[in-house]
Structure 1
Amino acid sequence: MEAILEPLMQGILQSFEPLNLAMLILGCTVGLFVGALPGLGSVNGVAILLPVTFLVPPNTAIIFLAAIYYGAMYGGAVSSITLGIPGASTAVATVFDGRPMAQKGRADLALATAAVASFIGGTISIVLFTLFAPPLASFALKFGPQEEFALMILAFATFIGLSGDDIPKTIFSILIGLVLATIGLDVISGKPRLIFFDIDGFFHGINFLVLAIGIYGIGEMLWTLEETKGDVQVHKVKSTFRGMINNVKQVKNYFGTTIVGSLIGYFVGMLPAAGATPAALMSYGLAKTFSKDPDSFGRGNVKGVAAPESANNAASTGSMLPMITLGIPGSPTTAILLGGMIIWGLRPGPLLFAEHPDFVWGLIGSLYVANVVTVLINLSFIPIFVRVLTLKFTILAPMIFILCVVGGYAPTQTMHDVWLMVGFGVVGYMLRKLNYPVAPAVLAIVLGPLAEQSFRQSVLGSQGDVSVFVERPLSATFLAIAVLLAAYPMISRFIKKKAASKA
């Protein structure tokens, strides 16, 4: 333990050096707003600001970029809650309950919950990173395509928990999402699939943010305009210092959910190519599946905000683990960080701890400081964020539409995606009127490509023998848990009906 505490304290003290601390605070603040703007997110924020790091030493540079990454994880919840537009793919699950809470005048509680849950998730993941980095990295290497596919099936099984009483509609929504995920070029052969009317824009597939922003931004805007007739002030939010303290104290109501979400997020985040988005979705699904009141999810349950926010922040730290210890990026953002490290003359891998201990422990120490700084910045900005909700919706709607257009255009910078986003908005509005759940479709389009790639790699490697998925202990365990999770809601309803009939 002393071998860890001494270099850790030196790393934390290194973060308090004037230049490092200034860059850390700047990075957290910039990251918060980068994450809150639809279509940007941590990937674009880190990529855009990477050249700035060439003006400072490598230790300061990695602290600055990691702070942006951390701040963006926090910031994604802001637009998800206040406007119903996911700031990034990692925050789409936050929309499910964060937006309904804002519509009920509880945006301050939702934003405080997101900040506190993110802080807890970040703290747990950093502690795990500090204590168990080498063994966890070697464990992650045991995950082949079979385990990755089984993990995706486990994630799909949690969708059943999102279905309420209408499982057929949920399955239909999942299948629609999986079909949309196959559009583009085949991952193995490279041949085009489902290129409708030979439109070039479909060759790069359906971007997840285009779908999410269309359904939850445009669709929500159309629905609200219809419900309020454009002349009702939908949101009335008051934010006071005493109210903020009370909101932070509400952590006792979702602390257990946050712990589980943090562990799930860190575990999924450290797997190469998984990332924070699947972690947040899985955490939300499990929180609803095992909730005593699952029907309240999607209607403004505070645990529906805490679960994904703790998971995506834990996953952001988890994705750094394979980057530092193995030289394998765990997410698109850490891939950019990895490129920066190579440019600075550092070689990520097992020898990094021995050859550049100041750099590694400086990064780890900065994560502790960045976690505290970001939660303080986030909480202090909540009164400003909630003031957006005091605007009449006739003023807010054009602002939402402009942000949606920018968010739809930013990922690929093509008008094709903007028109596609508008189309998804109309479809999302119609699905809501017909009482079809849209969340499972959004989740499926995220996990679909990951599941397809790992499945086909496994089947090709085993020459068509599907038993390979149950021969490996880890994948067989995940599949067994998935079956239990999928059957849990149905078994639970059967037991309740049987108990009711006896009564």
Structure 2
Amino acid sequence: MMGNFGQLMDGFAIALTTQHVMIMVLGVLLGLVVGVLPGLGAPNGVSLLLPLTFTMDPISAIILLTSMYWGALFGGSTTSILFNIPGEPSSVATTFDGHPMAKQGEAVRALTLAFTSAGIGALVGVLVITLLSSWVANFALRFGSPEYFAVYFMAFASFIGMAGGSPFKTLVSIMLGFAVATVGMDTISGEGRLTFGLGELSNGISFLIVVIGLFGIGELLLTIDEGYKFEGVKAKLKLSTIFRTLAEMPRYWVTIVRSALIGCWMGITPGGPTAASFMSYALGRRFSRRGKNFGKGEPEGIIAPETADHSAGSCALLPMLALGVPGSATAAVMMGGLMIWGLNPGPMLFSTRPDFVWGLIASMYAGNLIAVVLVLATVPLFAFILRAPFTVVGPLIAIICVIGAYTVANHMFDIWLALIFGIVGYAFKKLDYPLAPFVLAVVLGDKAEDAFRQSMLSSGGSLSVFFETPLVATMMAIGFLLLLLPFISRVVGAVLGKGNAAEARDGRPA
């Protein structure tokens, strides 16, 4: 523990230089723009910024990306409350009570509740990373290829087992992601796969192109199709309202603690911020004494999803750094960035580049504080910007996406690929297929395949290698349990339903 504290202090010495603080401010401001513009979002915003970081040193680059991530999360809350349009998928639950409170003339109160609880949630998440990162990394040093495959298997199985929607749709999404991940040269045989004779596909499909298409162009097509109209609520910054709202936060400490724990768990497991915010909102309404007021402008209805959203967003970086398994779509994009910079996420990163890891963790504390201050100061500005018609905002988003796709490798072919994935993203949204499992499979598909094939080569083709040690056997068992969870839940629900029906019949008067 004391070792972690000493390394964290070294990290602060790296993160709190003038250059890095300026990068944090710039990243947060860029993130706010990304968050408040529907059609962008953190995964796409990070992917668009990634080409700009190729000439930067890795520490400055990751600080820029993580600061933009915090800004995007805060910006998504701004549009949810003022305009009832979530800039981020994870901000959807905030609209349920945030916008009704704003329409009642309490926009500043709603925003202050959101930003304060978001800051608390993010701080809890970073504390968890600080306390657990070295332990998780040391534990992961025991991993070989069977253990890594078991981790990947658990990650994919948890998406299926813990999915809020249809497990079948989640499975289809993962399988399609696997198909995209296999395009290009086979790492073992060297033969081309799924290239269809196109030389441009021989190096595979860049995950940047995938996320630009899915999250940028796909959301833009959806926005055009649904005909969003920006009708906002005016918000003037009043310091007295902010201080009054801050004073009432302690009375909601139970909701904050419960939501932060939910967020940390969903961030470390691949549930992600969106699932965390919805789960926290549902539990908040279930256990609150004012549950009937949820959806009408209830403060707990803002605090619960925002705290969980940001604690999950922070904790999602822990498995990415320590295990090489991202806990969210944005973490998956960041992991791709690490590999581009020549850094391999996983336990060895903590021993080979401690300056990078602890500089990043220290920057999270400062970046979140900067984000809270900047987001409160820029609320009136973004309220004004969002009054621009979609005929102005839409083309700007499209231009950003096209430029981002082209700058990945300076190929026109990548622009066409991004458009194709934009149509895929649009179809996913219309058919209610989840995008996060697809992105996860694109990023981890080849890693999972390599781990599986290496395990098979070392064991002579015997699947028993995945059950030889207690560690790998336990992880595989958890994975299979997660896969069967939807079926188990359905069986238990049916049994309980029959039991309740029988009790009702027995209790009826003759």
Under a length normalisation based on structure 2, what TM-score does the superposition of the two structures give? 0.68
**1:170 aligned onto 2:180:** no
Mark the runs of 5 or more structure 1 residues left unpaired by the alignment: 51-60, 85-92, 267-278, 324-329, 340-347
CA drift at 1:68: 3.1
C-alpha offsets along residues 434-467 of structure 1, whole Å, 9 cap, x if unaligned? 4444443333223322211211121112121111
1:459 to 456, 460, 463: 456
Structure 1 pair 79–210 and aligned structure 2 pair: CA distance change class (3 A): farther
CA distance in 2, matches of 1:83, 1:417: 31
Partner of 1:48: 55
CA distance in 2, matches of 1:420, 1:178: 17
CA drift at 1:227: 2.3
User: Match for 2:18: what amino acid?
Assistant: A
CA distance in 1, matches of 2:156, 2:50: 26
Structure 1 pair 257–480 and aligned structure 2 pair: CA distance change class (3 A): farther
Partner of 1:313: 314
Partner of 1:201: 200
The 5-angstrom pairing of residues 90-489 of structure 1 reads: 95-98=88-91, 106=99, 115-129=119-133, 133=134, 136-161=136-161, 163-164=163-164, 166-196=166-196, 198-228=197-227, 232-233=229-230, 238=235, 240=237, 242=241, 249=249, 253=255, 255-259=257-261, 261-262=263-264, 281-284=270-273, 287=276, 293=282, 309-314=310-315, 316=317, 331=335, 368-385=365-382, 387-489=384-486
**Aligned-residue CA RMSD (Å):** 4.7
Partner of 2:21: 25
CA drift at 1:139: 1.9
SS in 2 for 1:204: coil
**1:173 and 1:436 in contact (8 A); partners too:** yes
C-alpha offsets along residues 112-162 of structure 1, whole Å, 9 cap, x if unaligned? 765543333223212445xxx3x5543221122211111111111122246
CA distance in 1, matches of 2:62, 2:262: 24
**1:34 and 1:40 in contact (8 A); partners too:** no
**1:498 aligned onto 2:502:** no
CA drift at 1:493: 2.8
CA drift at 1:500: 2.9
CA drift at 1:285: 8.4
SS in 2 for 1:124: helix
**2:272 and 2:316 in contact (8 A); partners too:** no
CA distance in 2, matches of 1:94, 1:149: 35
C-alpha offsets along residues 210-265 of structure 1, whole Å, 9 cap, x if unaligned? 2233233222222222222x7x3365574755479859958864644543544675
C-alpha offsets along residues 158-209 of structure 1, whole Å, 9 cap, x if unaligned? 222465563333322322221122111112222211002x222222322223
**1:78 and 1:111 in contact (8 A); partners too:** yes
Structure 1 pair 111–426 and aligned structure 2 pair: CA distance change class (3 A): farther
Structure 1 pair 3–474 and aligned structure 2 pair: CA distance change class (3 A): closer
CA distance in 1, matches of 2:199, 2:470: 43
CA distance in 2, matches of 1:221, 1:362: 36
**2:4 and 2:130 in contact (8 A); partners too:** no
**2:150 and 2:476 in contact (8 A); partners too:** yes
CA distance in 2, matches of 1:419, 1:374: 35
Structure 1 pair 377–458 and aligned structure 2 pair: CA distance change class (3 A): farther
Structure 1 pair 103–291 and aligned structure 2 pair: CA distance change class (3 A): closer
Partner of 2:102: none
Structure 1 pair 25–182 and aligned structure 2 pair: CA distance change class (3 A): same
CA distance in 1, matches of 2:253, 2:204: 40
> Comparing 465-474 with 155-164, which one deviates more in the overlay?
155-164
**2:145 and 2:451 in contact (8 A); partners too:** yes
**1:30 and 1:68 in contact (8 A); partners too:** yes
Structure 1 pair 387–209 and aligned structure 2 pair: CA distance change class (3 A): farther
SS in 1 for 2:187: coil
User: Match for 2:209: what amino acid?
Assistant: V
**1:234 and 1:393 in contact (8 A); partners too:** no
Mark the runs of 5 or more structure 2 residues left unpaired by the alignment: 35-43, 81-85, 100-109, 286-294, 296-300, 325-333, 344-348, 502-510
Structure 1 pair 100–424 and aligned structure 2 pair: CA distance change class (3 A): farther
CA drift at 1:484: 2.1
User: Match for 1:225: what amino acid?
Assistant: I
